Structure 1
Amino acid sequence: MIRKFPLFFLVLFSFQSVNAQKLTDLVDPFIGTGGHGHTYPGAAVPFGMVQLSPDNGRSGWDWSSGYHYSDSTITGFSHTHLSGTGIGDWCDISVMPFVNSDTDKKATFSHKNEKAAPGYYSVKMSSGILASFTVTERVGFHSYAFPEGAKPMIQFDLGFHINWDKTEQGYVSVLNDSTLIGYRYSTGWAKNQKVYFAARTSKAFSLYKLYAAGGVVAGNKLLDTAARVQLFFPDAAGKKVLLKVALSSTTAEKALLALNEVKHWDFEKTRKDASAKWEAELQKIKIQSSDQALKKIFYTALYHTCLSPVLYSDADGAYQNAKSAQLKMEKGAQRYTVYSLWDTFRALNPLFTLTQPKKYPDILKSMMAFYRENGLLPVWDLSTWEANTMTGYHAVPVLADAVLKGVPGLDIKEAYQAMRASATQTSRNVPDYMKYGYLPQDKGGWSVTVTLEYAFDDYCIAQVAKKLGLMDDYKLFMGRAVAYQRLFDPVTGFIRARNSDGKFTVPFDPYFSEHEEKAEYIEGNAWQHSFFVPQDPRGLANEHGGYGQFVKKLDSLFSVSSVVKGQNASADVSGLIGQYAHGNEPSHHIAYLYSYVGSAWKTQEKVRMIADSMYHAKPDGYAGNEDCGQMSAWFVWNAIGFYPANPVSGQYVFGSPLVDRADLQLPNGKSLHVEVNNNSKTNKYIQKVWLNGKVLSADFISHNQILSGGKLVFLMGSKPNRNWASKPKDWPSSIN
């Protein structure tokens, strides 16, 4: 008998089916593991201390995470990894299963035998071993299914390293027939790194062997730069051996305590718990679209925004910093590390002010702890070591944004003191910047980039000074905020390096890029860096001779040749559209500059072009290094229709939304519902915007408007609405 159901029930059933889908099913951790994305596919929980992932055993730029999709070898599964950086470090506490003790250190594998999901990774290797992994915050949970006929052995290799990281001390102590502890001290990009571990097996091992650089050693303890321990399980052929490895930055004894995060041997339960943590994160922004690839890209991007900074302290808040000081955060707080601030201040940190109300205060407090320990805010904090990599002092915009938005947990006066310390320090060429009003090229190199970024950071300090009523400081730092004017060359139309005598450096070629410390621009050329004035786009336009001329210059950026000159040009200059380089962060705000001078429709056009061409649902789906969440945060913002072009203004400039619907879970318990009508590949231009039923003439939405919740509606069309947001009163703010 054929039953007929009313349309209402069919629609309801369809709606429930769609909403029943787990968002974790839309995440593909392999996106970014190919090309130059430098992500890892292994298991982690949001912002967790453990990133349990395979290592190919190679060094090189494209193996900065330990793994690259082009490879087919595995040398081990280590417990710490950096996501999307350009530097290889960490990969601490490497573990590898073997079918017998004579097996070569490397195994081969095929991607068809590999699986990854949030909080889970597995691979069946050429040895026949099925290796599966899941995690908690501080514990890596291993499952090794050995084939019949195997002589199962599991090896810990404390000498394993990648790139210029190396082990300085490796220690292991076998406590009993199922438990061992140890540590790995290493130096690399960060110095004086100390990772302690405790490991426990589900089955007793009948034999173990300790290896130093010279071979097998007797006893149950070993200290050696090449320390290894092999554990033998002769009765485990055709069976599983489970292993738990806990980490600590303080002591091996604290790592033993951390093993209690997993009190059982139920691998699937831990996997489900990890997946549930990810589902809760992804539910914070729910989107609707008929484009399955778009949803996959979006939720993988949102996933990548939650991998760093990473947890560094024990459960009680205790940690050991790079000065070997044993310290503790204030009651209830945790310490975090991995601050790629040159990248993340632009979009990731502003995203955290909406998506991470619980963790973000501790992430900010960790920056302040770094300041108290070192006298300055971090530039690039890795294992609490100041890597001092890249230009600017970009902890400043992160803290300023948090202060201006009222993120709880900060002592505002202390935060301001820390910001001011960065801007008046005696290192990083700050004295010359203060003396000349720009950094002369003959005084330190990177003249343009340093000047532009210091100027923006100083603008941020000025806004906090104003909030605190420190008007003399406000005037001082606002004067420094327009330092870009001193390097603008009206003849060429570019911001160029000057020497201390006031003369521009020669020769000059805007297409030239040099990847060295004495270059005028860091990781780029004049085309990419001459637009970094997010605090004053209209002032920059005036330098070009007016808004019309500025728009023409922006048009040229996207249409000129994509040739980058120079024998040692930076590999980071990638994802090129003309000379716009989406594969590196200095370009990320540029498409939005049109909106500051009355050409919002061109922002919409360019943003849609960038999103469609630079993100794909495949391993090489990122145009460049993912950079600890920044590349992903750009996509998350732009998919829902707006972006913090000036990341401390509290204004999010409208772009061209990709999704049909989006629901944002807000920190105050409210929700913002985004509805995009008449949306399609061709309908990329905004015709009209409503906020809670009222027509919105401004080309941006404020942070406070978002926090108020409600409904934001876009009406899209195939032709530009050149009249929309064309009046100065509707443009985002600019100093001039």
Structure 2
Amino acid sequence: MKRNRMQQKLFLITIALISISACTNQISEGTKNNTKLTSFVDPFIGTGGHGHTYPGATIPFGMLQVSPINGVNGWDWCSGYNYSDNIAVGFSHLALSGTGIGDLLDISFMPINKKVDLSKYFESRDSIPYKSTYSHNNEKASPGYYQVFLEDPKINVQLTTSQRTAYHKYTFTKEDQQSIIIDLGYGTNWDSATKTHITLEDVQTISGYRFSTGWAKNQKVFFVAKFSKPIKNHKIYSDGNLINAVSTTGVKTASQLFFNNSNTALQVKVALSSVSISNAKENLDTGDFDFDKIQVAADTNWDGALAKIQVESPTDSLKTIFYTAMYHAQLAPVTFSDKNGEYRKENDTIATASDYTAYSTLSLWDTFRAEHPLLTLIAPDKVSDIIRTMMSYYKTKKILPVWTLYGNETNTMTGYHSIPVIAEAYVKGIRGFDAETAYQAMKTTMMQDDRGLKEYKKYGYIPYTLIDESVTITLEYAYDDWCVAQMAKALGKEADYLFFSKRAQAYRNLFDKNTGFMRAKSVDGKSWSLPFDPKYAVHRNGANYTEGNAWQHSWFVPHDVENLIAMHGGTETFTARLEQLFTESSEINGDNTSPDISGLIGQYAHGNEPSHHIAYLFNHANKPWRTQYWVREILKTQYSTLSTGLSGNEDCGQMSAWYILSAIGFYSVNPASGNYEIGSPIFEKTTITLSEDKSFIIEAANVSDKNKYIQSAMLNGAVFNKTTISHQQIIAGGTLHFVMGSLPNKKWGVHNTKINE
């Protein structure tokens, strides 16, 4: 009897444990299902090394980027911040995400608890009296939110933002003096103030402007700031002089504002405009200073943006890398038009975006490759608005933009890659812009004479004796020509189609069949640049290649890969040279090499954009399993969860967009073709939300680190044996199912016909 009671007791305990376990599993699963995607984002990824990202607060494609600035003049501080640092000099409202350009960082606010002398010009960060140290142990960032504790004044800083208004919350130590420094004259890196202005409008409001020159030669930023408590006292300086007034204008103006210390928290709302102070006031959110409410709204906004592509994996680090990439890919382009639609153009006139949003920060040399193709999937409405912005700038000079920043054309980098962005959008069915006008802009741009086009048209290539970076420029103009041809064909312009298709063959003129490289050629059409070393690189002056060498630039013929293979002598020679690219020693020869050549696997440089399509070229040469192998190697070695987790400049979303597309299983080698190349998916399941009632699902059965090779595939239940998938197939919705394995299936995706040997 005792034994039976003992058995019964054990039975009941077992049942209880099972019940508890079941409940725990349900809670765990429920928590998992309710976990916000923003929890996987780490904005500090890329802030170290050469990533050049910023950790501050913004919303998807938002107007403001409110972020800490370290005050260091250096390439790795292009965003104003580098994770290796621990000193802050302010919190600015404009920042570039992952570029190699030291600009913006305008309208800097810095809380402080003492009076300082702002009459002096600070030659370096060391002389700034309001700087403060901080520790990464007391610094946090998440989508739409940033927090840091300033150790010297012992002030906790919190930042968040809405579409056009930044919110600051400063929590001071009890009884401490509460003060804010606004130094409009201070600039870092390339930026230098030319004219600034401050006005105390009332006891809770200041306004002003900051005009500056740098990379953007004529940058005009107007602002207004409203405080949660009255300004008790103030000091205003203009070009080193203390001004006894409530308003001043000078090259370098600054102000220190003082507030009562009755409440430890001081809040500030700040809005900007490229047009006027009155527009900045209109951009400023109405309502109270409910910081927490704005932060929650920003987080919710980001969660929806991240959910456009949802991935499933048992490895949290992969989800962190992926969703941080999704975050970075939606930081730029940035909203530029004000609430009333107005924005400044490069000729200093004011345009109005009456039924669209105008955008700035168009890093087109980088982003046409993967960032813009990604946007055609997750934000097609923004693609048409970006193109309409391009067309607005085209009206000014009758040339499409190259790299626009805050109402300025910087003319940075080679080619006219607004052209593939437009062609891609039209080929993919995006119609929110005037196609005929856009085509005329594309054609007119490629028929003018600036930036090497005169030489390109005369010789059929650009001679290195006339223009630097001649090989890269020639190859990129050939691709731009092909894109114009595709647009002409789509619009029924047969003569233009034939003309630009012929000109798109310009790459042939620089191919050296003896070495297998694209090489610089003289005006005589015969003489190569000597001596020739495919590992040699020089930055800018005297360069034949842009930020790279012959190894990295000789593969850019995305519109005619089959002929590139044939010129090499066939698939075996071509793939042997591709393999050598990845296995060659990684030294870069030359005394003035570009810092952009980073993320090296052999001579493949993932840290810079010219290499981004190369691993997918094996698909065209009947060896897709080598694409699968090398794509996985790049995914594994060039991205991580560390602050140095990007192997090169983020470049306004391009580095992250490469990861996003490649991780889910495909990439846009030739964006304007409307097709994607299949690689090797790393997630068990990916869901791309196309609309409320339609999605495209990618499944990868048995996927793992070892199971990187595609064994078979089915699209919507039918056998799929191709290495390309079209944009139209994806946006139609459905399921692409892969079966993965540890050994290559050398029959899957192989063409029935061979490239001419």
* Aligned counterpart for 1:562 among listed residues 586, 599, 603: 586
Match of 2:510 in 1: 487
Amino acid at match of 1:634: W
- Residues in 2 aligned to 1:681 and 1:123: alpha-carbon distance in whole angstroms: 37
CA contact (8 A) 1:379 1:395 kept: yes
1:12 deviates by 5.8
SS in 1 for 2:318: helix
> Which of the numbers 664, 668, 671 marks the counterpart of 1:640?
664
Provide Cα deviations, 1:273-302, integer angstroms capped at 9, x if missing partner: 111110110011111111111100000000
CA deviation profile, 1:188-223 (whole Å, cap 9, x unmatched): 101111111011100001101101222311111010
Aligned pair partner of 1:546 in 570, 589, 594: 570
- How has the CA–CA distance of structure 1 residues 303 and 208 changed in structure 2, closer, same or farther, with 3 Å as cutoff? same
2:97 corresponds to:
83
Query: Mind listing any 5+ residue stretches in structure 1 that lack a counterpart?
Result: none
Shift of 1:357: 2.7
- Which of these residues, 224, 230, 240, is aligned with residue 250 of structure 2? 224
Shift of 1:15: 4.0
Instruction: Measure how far apart 1:486 and its partner are.
Output: 0.7
Tell me if structure 1 keeps the 8 A contact 2:282–2:339.
no
Partner amino acid for 2:69? D
Distance 1:6 1:476, change over 3 A: farther
Which residue, 29, 51, 54 being the options, matches 2:65? 51
Q: Distance in 1 between matches of 2:49 and 2:135?
A: 18
Greater radius of gyration (CA): 2
Q: Aligned with 1:210: secondary structure?
A: strand
Match of 1:22 in 2: 36
**Conserved in 1, the CA contact under 8 Å of 2:535 and 2:588?**
yes
Letter in structure 1 aligned against 2:207: I
Q: 3-state SS of the aligned residue for 1:200?
A: strand
1:70 equivalent to 2:94? Answer no
Structure 2 residue 385 is the aligned partner of structure 1 residue 362: yes
Q: Which amino acid aligns with 2:242?
A: V
SS of aligned partner of 2:206:
strand
From 205, 230, 236, the counterpart of 1:210: 236
Tell me what 1:297 maps to: 321
* Aligned position for 1:420: 443
Q: Return the letter of the residue paired with 1:59.
A: N
List structure 1 segments (4+ residues) > 2 angstroms apart after TM superposition. 3-17, 357-360
Cα shift at 1:646: 1.1
Q: Which residue identity is paired with 2:194?
A: E
Answering whether residue 306 of structure 2 is matched by residue 282 of structure 1, we say yes
**What one-letter code is carried by the residue in structure 2 that aligns with 1:158?**
L
Q: Distance in 2 between matches of 1:241 and 1:735?
A: 72
Q: In the alignment, what sits opposite 1:657?
A: 681
**Alpha-carbon offset, residue 442 of structure 1:** 1.1
Q: Does 1:350 align with 2:373?
A: yes
SS in 2 for 1:122: strand
Letter in 2 for 1:478: S
Q: Which moved further from structure 2: 366-375 or 543-552?
A: 366-375
Q: What CA distance in whole angstroms lies between the structure 2 residues aligned with 1:232 and 1:522? A: 50
> Does the 8 Å contact 2:365/2:415 carry over to 1?
yes
1:706 partnered with 2:736: no
- Displacement of 1:434: 0.8
Q: Name the TM-score, length of structure 1 as normaliser.
A: 0.97
Is the aligned partner of 1:143 residue 2:166? Answer: no
8 Å contact kept, 1:45–1:277? yes
Tell me: CA distance 1:486–1:173, structure 2 relative to 1, closer, same or farther (3 Å): same
1:212 and 1:10 map into 2 onto residues whose CA distance is: 64
Query: Per-residue deviation at 1:4?
Result: 3.7
Equivalent residue of 2:98, what SS? coil
Structure 1 residues 157-212: Cα deviation after superposition (integer angstroms, max 9, x where no partner): 11121112111111011011100110101111011111110111000011011012
1:228-377 alignment to 2 at 5 Å? 228-236=254-262, 239-259=264-284, 261-329=285-353, 331-377=354-400
Amino acid of the structure 2 residue aligned with 1:373 = T
Matched, 1:183 2:197: no
Per the alignment, residue 156 of structure 2 pairs with 130
Shift of 1:569: 0.4
Which residue of structure 1 lines up, in the alignment, with residue 638 of structure 2? 614
Residues 356, 667 of structure 1: 8 Å contact kept: no
Residue 333 (structure 1) shift: 1.1
Amino acid at match of 2:513: P
* Residues in 2 aligned to 1:309 and 1:500: alpha-carbon distance in whole angstroms: 39
1:720 maps to: 744
Q: Is the 8 A contact 1:312 1:334 kept in 2?
A: yes
The secondary structure found in structure 1 opposite 2:304 is: helix
Tell me the residue number matched to 1:36: 50
How far did 1:524 drift? 0.1
Amino acid of the structure 2 residue aligned with 1:287: V
Which amino acid in structure 1 is aligned with residue 368 of structure 2? F
Asked if structure 2 preserves the Cα contact closer than 8 Å seen for 1:262 and 1:270, the reply is no
For residues 401-452 of structure 1, the C-alpha deviation after alignment (integer angstroms, 9 at most, x for no partner) is: 0011111211111111011112111101101101111011112121110110
CA distance in 2, matches of 1:82, 1:5: 53
Q: Secondary structure at the match of 1:185?
A: strand
Give 1:672's aligned residue.
Answer: 696
The alignment's TM-score, normalised by the length of structure 2, stands at 0.94
Deviation at 1:517, TM superposition (A): 3.3
Letter in 2 for 1:44: T
* Displacement of 1:16: 3.1
Change in Cα spacing, 1:735 to 1:142, as seen in structure 2 (3 Å) is farther
CA contact (8 A) 1:316 1:332 kept: no
Moved more, 394-403 or 660-669: 660-669
Contact 1:109/1:123, CA 8 A, preserved across alignment: yes
Q: 1:30 and 1:6 mapped to 2: Cα distance?
A: 38
Counterparts of 1:672 and 1:698, CA distance in 2? 18
- In the alignment, which residue of structure 2 is the partner of 1:409? 432
Give the SS at the match of 1:89: coil
Cα drift, residue 518 of structure 1: 2.6
